Amino acid sequence: MSATFSATRPTPAAEIAPSRIATKRTILMCRPDFYTVSYRINPWMHPEVPTDTGLAVRQWETLYRTYVDLGFDIRLVDPIDGLPDMVYAANGGFVLDGIAYGASFTYPERQPEAPAYMDWFRDNGFDVRIPENVNEGEGDFLLVGDVILAGTGFRSASKSHEEMTRIYGREVVTLNLINPSFYHLDTAVAVLDPSPAPGERANIAYLPSAFDETSLEILRERFPDAILVTDEDAAFLGLNSFSDGYNIVIASRATDFERQLRARGYNPIGVDLSELLLGGGGAKCCTLELRR
């Protein structure tokens, strides 16, 4: 069931912000029972710095409860000892139209996650497609309206974008990431309107410094009203957020992003995932959308 909410944008002209529609989401998550940082495969990870698995679990549980309170349908995949990054469920695949396109991870440390997620998809009635090309799931594939934005540059191979086009029959738009701290697309782009209302344009927020000039031209042309996020907020993975169209779960320290969202009529909900940030992930990394 969908509910419509409206808010007032605090501008001198006292304009009324567009109505935002919250739509129930179905998602997959993985409890971080075995979370730690024992290797380094992105700039956020420092194995020499101790991590607190108990704190990571408590922070994850806060995120889980937030989704419960929003009325989401939450499914869980069992964590596996020795796979500390399984908590970042978004990387486990991409699911659309009941088809689950499996992941094929770049680094050996994460490669065993792929069959675990594909087994879960298969056991839960999804049409599983085994990937031919390296890709890291919804980390680099974001559905915006009817278009799939696809990241490349660090993790997912650009040939996986062609594979996505064949599988889903949707337009796939390639965006090239150039900053290693924002190695997945979902760290540099937030989808604000997953299912826009009739007549409304799907919109995003993004970090300009994460992309090359060709990709920026694409983003400016397709999303002229996008929110541009500061480097300061991006440093907390503020863009690694998850939206139902009205409520947007973001990093609690991304305060300017929160301000911008409220001005556009959204309801940002800040959560503290600072321990999971040590592995290079935030709210979106922990959240894989299941679209039948």
Angstrom distance (rounded) from CA 264 to CA 255: 15
Angstrom distance (rounded) from CA 115 to CA 113: 6
Angstrom distance (rounded) from CA 24 to CA 3: 9
Q: What is the DSSP letter of 244?
A: S
Angstrom distance (rounded) from CA 229 to CA 270: 16
Compute CA 94 distance to the chain's CA centroid, rounded to the nearest angstrom.
11
Residue 46 annotated in active site: no
Return the beta strands (E) in 66-163 as ranges: 73-76, 93-96, 99-102, 127-129, 141-144, 147-152
Q: Where are the domains of the chain?
A: 21-289
Residue 53: helix, strand or coil by DSSP? helix
Angstrom distance (rounded) from CA 43 to CA 282: 14
Residue 286 annotated in active site: no
Express each pLDDT in 201-254 by its tens digit: 889 999 999 999 999 999 999 999 999 999 999 999 999 999 999 999 999 999
Phi, psi of 153 (to 5 degrees): 125, -35
Q: Which two tokens stand for residue 253?
A: 């320290």
One of 3.75.10.10, 3.90.1280.20, 3.90.580.10, 3.40.640.10 is the CATH number of 21-289, namely: 3.75.10.10
The residue from 30, 161, 184, 286 that is catalytic is: 184
Express each pLDDT in 45-89 by its tens digit: 999 999 999 999 999 999 999 999 999 999 999 999 999 999 999
User: What is the percent of the chain with per-residue pLDDT over 70, rounded to a whole number?
Assistant: 94
Angstrom distance (rounded) from CA 108 to CA 41: 10
